[in-house]
Chain A
Amino acid sequence: GAVVSQHPSRVICKSGTSVKIECRSLDFQATTMFWYRQFPKKSLMLMATSNEGSKATYEQGVEKDKFLINHASLTLSTLTVTSAHPEDSSFYICSARDPTSGRYEQYFGPGTRLTVT
């Protein structure tokens, strides 16, 4: 199946700083990527839909100014957590679909564990 990578796999930052997480589709081009967050023992919560070359679509309750999404190319989307706080500590996961595969399933990255101290 298609491969989606994320970097970094884990990051620890101090409260008030910003952190950037990258999501890459390695062997296909993705016009759309999705960003999720997952708290321990909880399901995936969709944060936003990232569209190449246009603004991201955020889910209700997700702060646009706090979670900045940039989808600058067909293989890269970034999520920047600005002015991070301890409550932003979570597991962030991206996913993408290969539009040329003729298959509809989405492939997930390995996730990024963010800890804000």
Chain B
Amino acid sequence: QKEVEQDPGPLSVPEGAIVSLNCTYSNSAFQYFMWYRQYSRKGPELLMYTYSSGNKEDGRFTAQVDKSSKYISLFIRDSQPSDSATYLCAMSLDSGNTPLVFGKGTRLSVIA
């Protein structure tokens, strides 16, 4: 079993739809959880970060962490064509200089 599992998609939705992206993980020691957005041929851009369990909202984006289930989610409301990108979940054991462990990324296309 890989440390972080993420459905690679591709996921195609109409503009305005609510998008749900998910990752599961096996290491219960992960404490910090992040979502990155990566446009084609660009470096990943930090979208959301969360410490431990709970929800965090930023505009149209909501990140959820359920440590008991080892499951994290990113919701995008009122999706826009500009949201079309690959979304990568990432997690870390601590807040120090330890490498992030990434999911494979989910390719999202929002169709106008």
Contact = CB atoms under 8 A, between A and B. Distances in A.
Interface of A: 1, 4, 6, 31-32, 34, 41-44, 46, 49, 91, 93, 95, 97, 99, 103-111, 113
Contacts of A41: 8, 107
Interface stretch (B12-20, B53-61, B76-84, B93-101): B93-101
B43 A109 contact: yes
B-side interface size class: 20 to 34
Contacts of B104: 42-43
Contacts of A32: 97
Contact of A108 (B41, B44, B96): B44
Contact of B34 (A91, A105, A109): A105
Given A31-B97, A32-B97, A97-B97, A108 B45 contact: yes
